[in-house]
Structure 1
Amino acid sequence: MFFLMSAASVTDQFTDAFRDPAILTGIPMAVLGAIFMSLGAQYQHRGVQKVERVTGRSGGTGLDLHHLLNLLKRPSWLSGTLMLALAIVCQLAALSVAPLILVQPLGAISLVITTLLNARVSGHAPTRQSIRAIVAAVGGIFIFVTIAAFFATERPVTQTQIIIILGLLGVTIVAFAVLWVLLRSRSMALLYIVASGVLYGFVATLAKVVLSRIRDNNFDWLTLLSMAALIAAVLVGAYFVQTAYSLGPPDLVIAGLTVIDPIIAVVIGLTVLQEAEKAPFWAFIGFAAAGALAVYGVISLARNHPQIISDSQELPIVRGSDAEDEDGEEKPSQ
């Protein structure tokens, strides 16, 4: 009898959640943003790789001003940037009408799309290990979204919550700056991926804060400070992303972003913004388990990605349709 009552309760919660027109609008906008993110990542990665070949200078220890100026001349990189801008617009539209902890994890869809695109472009077919890693990463995120759909709620953002978020962001930027100085010579792709994912998690949170404040007619100095912090996090995160593109395949970068980004945003949404205040204890256990599964997927993909393995072993793999770049010039053998 208890089981039947619990099942009925969960069914009612599920039905009520998806009767909300905000959720019905926010979910497809987030999915569309994920598609634009996939395409943008592929084109930006191509632009970064092209600049490295043209200049003969690796960006593995961090892109310098010369790299950045040359990126502005690459049609592929500019196309990717435009697509990422469209992804941001879609994401902001979704965040303006739906809870952060529901919308943000849906970006994991872009990992599947980017993996398929990169397999075609690079000629590296996914292996069983990499497919298992992708399933774990995306599966963990979607388990999280399913639980969040039951209990996610919109709440007004207070000044205290904004100050806490800004303080956490400041500490995070300083910490990654120190790590970058100490570890940049090691050309660690995972460091740049994690750093950008964490920062973009704050970007999503601050975007939600700013949109909420504007919607509630609270456009004050704290809102302006949040906007400034958002822009700073975007710029620093973008730098880390572009450097990550020089060290690893785009689907690995997207894997980090679409898993680490929502995990950070969700943790802030749960602990600071209290977006799941009425969720039962079992839901938080589910959140933790789903997040752990998603993180495992990213780490496993970093270890088992076929392109990373073949590059490290210098295998003569044909690079598929990416054998020519966007200007029609044939790529040198890798």
Structure 2
Amino acid sequence: MDAASTIGDVTDQLVGVFDDPKILIGIPLALLGAVFMSFGAQYQHRGVQKVERLTQVNGGNGLTGAQLVNLLRRPSWVAGTVMLGLAIVCQLAALSFAPLILVQPLGAISLVITTLLNARISGHTPTKRSISAIALCVGGIFLFVTIAAIYATETPVSDAQLVTILVILAVVVVALGSLWFWLRRRANALFYIVGAGIIYGFVATLAKVVISRIQSGDFEWLTVVCVVALIAGTAVGAYFVQTAYASGPPDLVIAGLTVIDPIVAIIIGLAVLQEAATAPWGAFVGFGFAGLLAIAGVFQLARYHPQIVSDSQEIPIQRGSDGQPSTGSIRITEAVSRVWPDPPTRDRDGRSPR
């Protein structure tokens, strides 16, 4: 076989942006969604931190019902929620033009923006190790994009495939719920980030399916089940994300979501939806290598994030309504005290000291 025929065979297998130019519309929409996600995450994180401070209850072990209600009263959290809503709209619009395994990884750009925002607000300048970790995350995800842009293709989702996705999602939610109930007193931000990323990977897949079925006019009972699962998965994932904000910096949360979310969605796209059925084995090796790079970046960032390193220099501080000592960063505690000073103490008669 000569070189010309080999090149011809490879060219015949190429799909994606070269055969479907409308995919190029989905890319800027996904990037715009990433910008909204960055600002939304920062504002939501600020709202969660304020509520945690005002209620004097550590939300790192799971936000309480009262804290969730108080979030609705925080303008910063509401503003962040609106921005995340716009991010979802942009992502759904992008999914209507481009394959799932191409749109999802583009959210990694939000990690860079969120890192810059958090560094500006918190004063924690990124270190060489944290920058290297972010580079691994973004580099791994964009390698995914490069491969997906060449080999990604749209395929109709059958009822059997959809039922498979719903069953797997139900198993995942039950498993994560059981782990949360068992480990919530010891769970850290990484647990909630991984859990939210896995669930949102299924949510993105279901959103793509619902959009496709609405476009084709195939809206029946199974599509309704998808919508219900989509809403339930979004609610569970949102709770995990808000709890992660209470125990970790926003750029670490975004790092986990922008890596784990697309990887889960891509695995579903490859294994269940067959969105890269024409790809050669080398492409799958590339997918695996890129995924390992991105995941390694998340774990490195969780270990070497400057805000987490700062928090590791701990002193006992009073947190929570039960009077039990907790720990926290001197730097962050002092900063919080300046922004939200404690109310004046009162004597037994309820009078403030003069």
Q: Which category describes the TM-score, using the shorter chain as reference length? A: over 0.9
**Is residue 14–residue 149 contact of structure 1 (8 Å, CA) maintained in 2?**
no
Q: 2:196 & 2:93 partners in 1: Cα distance? A: 22
Alpha-carbon deviations, 1:172-227, whole Å to 9, x = none? 00000110011000141111000000000001000001011111111000000000
Where does residue 195 of structure 2 map in the other structure?
Answer: 195
Relative contact order higher in (CA < 8 Å, ≥ 6 apart): 1
Q: Check 1:277–1:51 CA distance in 2 against 1; reply closer, same or farther (3 A cut).
A: same
Where does residue 121 of structure 1 map in the other structure?
Answer: 121
**Is residue 144–residue 287 contact of structure 2 (8 Å, CA) maintained in 1?**
yes
Q: 1:145 & 1:130 partners in 2: Cα distance? A: 23
Q: 2:300 & 2:20 partners in 1: Cα distance? A: 37
**Is residue 166–residue 226 contact of structure 2 (8 Å, CA) maintained in 1?**
yes
Select the structure of larger CA radius of gyration: 2
**Is residue 13–residue 150 contact of structure 1 (8 Å, CA) maintained in 2?**
no
Q: Check 1:163–1:24 CA distance in 2 against 1; reply closer, same or farther (3 A cut).
A: same
1:276 CA drift (Å): 0.2
1:318 CA drift (Å): 7.3
**Is residue 130–residue 304 contact of structure 1 (8 Å, CA) maintained in 2?**
yes
Counterpart amino acid of residue 305 in structure 1: H
Counterpart amino acid of residue 262 in structure 2: P
1:75 aligns with 2:75: yes
Where does residue 32 of structure 1 map in the other structure?
Answer: 32
Alpha-carbon deviations, 1:44-100, whole Å to 9, x = none? 000000001111111111011100010000000000000000000000000011100
Q: 1:323 & 1:297 partners in 2: Cα distance? A: 29
TM-score w.r.t. the length of structure 2 is: 0.88
For residues 119-268 of structure 1, the aligned pairs below 5 Å read 119-268=119-268
The 3-state SS of whatever aligns with 2:274 is coil
Q: Check 1:323–1:282 CA distance in 2 against 1; reply closer, same or farther (3 A cut).
A: same
Give % identity.
64
**Is residue 14–residue 151 contact of structure 2 (8 Å, CA) maintained in 1?**
no
Q: 1:292 & 1:6 partners in 2: Cα distance? A: 30
The 3-state SS of whatever aligns with 1:178 is helix
Alpha-carbon deviations, 1:96-153, whole Å to 9, x = none? 1110001111001100000000000000000010000000011000001100111100
1:311 CA drift (Å): 1.1
Task: Give ranges in structure 1 of 5+ residues lacking alignment.
Answer: none
The 3-state SS of whatever aligns with 2:312 is helix
Q: Check 1:13–1:134 CA distance in 2 against 1; reply closer, same or farther (3 A cut).
A: farther
1:20 CA drift (Å): 2.6
TM-score w.r.t. the length of structure 1 is: 0.93
The 3-state SS of whatever aligns with 2:59 is coil
Where does residue 51 of structure 1 map in the other structure?
Answer: 51
Q: How many residues align?
A: 328
Q: 1:46 & 1:10 partners in 2: Cα distance? A: 50
